[in-house]
Amino acid sequence: MADLPPDLFDADWAREAERRALRDHRRATRARKARGLTGPSRGALLTALSFSAVVALAWAGFAFLDGTAPTASAPPTSAASTSTAPLRAHAEVDLTRPFADTPAAMWREGAGGIEPPPAHPVGPYSAEQVGQFMERVRRLIITARLDRTVLETRDPSLVLDQLAPALVEKLRPELAPGKEKESWYVAERIAAGARLLPVQPRVTGWMTPTVNEHGELTIRTNYLVAYAFDVPDPTKIDGPMDIVAVVRHEIEYRWIDDSKYAADARGVWFGEARGFSYSVDCAQSEHGFLAPDYNNPRETAAAAGHHRRSEEYFDPNIPMPTEDGCR
């Protein structure tokens, strides 16, 4: 009997992937500077090209390492609708309606934005099995991205309880204090000192069931979550994006149920994972924590390399951004 499902690639591949990511990131940065590009926000961070995250996610099937944007898969017909509402970057902020004047104002509140499509048979898996796994993934995402206990205590235990025990043991080194950036894909963590407003985050995106090359039932997810933060002095902020942080995740969840694996290896595993965050506190993001943009130095705006319209960072239909505005 095999103990664990196979790794998606080996350590040699991971080391080469890290070198390639570093090289291509530097090339992209030099090219942006040569073009003199500037952008709309002083606080966007590409987690997918964060060098420490590259190493941490190698075993999990991290594939976005060549400096190019992946092709965006079309959402299923049941996916939550996305907004094309414009962003009014300098609108007056109402802390009781923090998402007003942002595209996230049109998204669903909290768990209502994480809605699986109708279940149907996929490969050897019945519609009932597919539906059950999509519901497990839904609960897992809600816990990891919306549960206030997880977010505010920065303790992912409630998430880990929903994963295969063998995977949790494999994750232990990356879950140690001080390594939060390496396990960004496990759960969101709000920075100490940052306070969420008493409103539900806004969510949009979709999940799609498939069977991967190993014959495993896999749920591919693509979600954006907008978080609204309190601010000590509202008179010192310029507009809604000073307190609204947007996080996007494209994460695969694998269902391991083959009896050839040990009992503790069966359950939910991670597959490929990509992430991007927009309008965030760069210093906190460097340590794996989420905080709003208003703490960033103003001069960061001039150094940001964005060349998209601001609204595009709210759109799960576009390819994952490759810019890094925090370096």
- Could you give the residue ranges of the DSSP H alpha helices within the chain? 11-35, 51-56, 127-146, 148-153, 157-160, 165-171, 282-285, 300-303
The residue with greater pLDDT, 34 or 129, is 129
Residue 108 has pLDDT above 50, yes or no: yes
Query: How much is the mean pLDDT over the chain?
Result: 79
What digits encode the pLDDT tens for the residues 50-89? 322 222 233 333 332 222 233 334 455 444 545 456 788 7
Pair of tokens at residue 36: 């003199």
Domain boundaries, the chain: 11-314
Pair of tokens at residue 321: 């951004």
Q: Please give the share of the chain, as a percent, with pLDDT higher than 70.
A: 70
Pair of tokens at residue 183: 């396990």
Pair of tokens at residue 302: 């001039």
pLDDT band at 235 (very low <50, low <70, confident <90, very high): confident
CA gap 208, 118 in Å, rounded: 10
- Which residue type does 155 have? D
For the chain, report the end-to-end CA distance as a whole number of angstroms.
Answer: 47
Closest CA relative to residue 256, chosen from 158, 121, 133, 118: 133
State the DSSP code for 25: H
pLDDT for res 260: 92
- Burial label, 268 (beta-carbon count in 10 A; 0-12, 13-18, 19+): middle
Residue 303 has pLDDT above 90, yes or no: no
The residue with greater pLDDT, 75 or 252, is 252
Predicted TM-score (pTM) of the model is 0.79
What digits encode the pLDDT tens for the residues 253-288? 999 999 999 999 999 999 999 999 999 999 999 999
pLDDT band at 236 (very low <50, low <70, confident <90, very high): confident
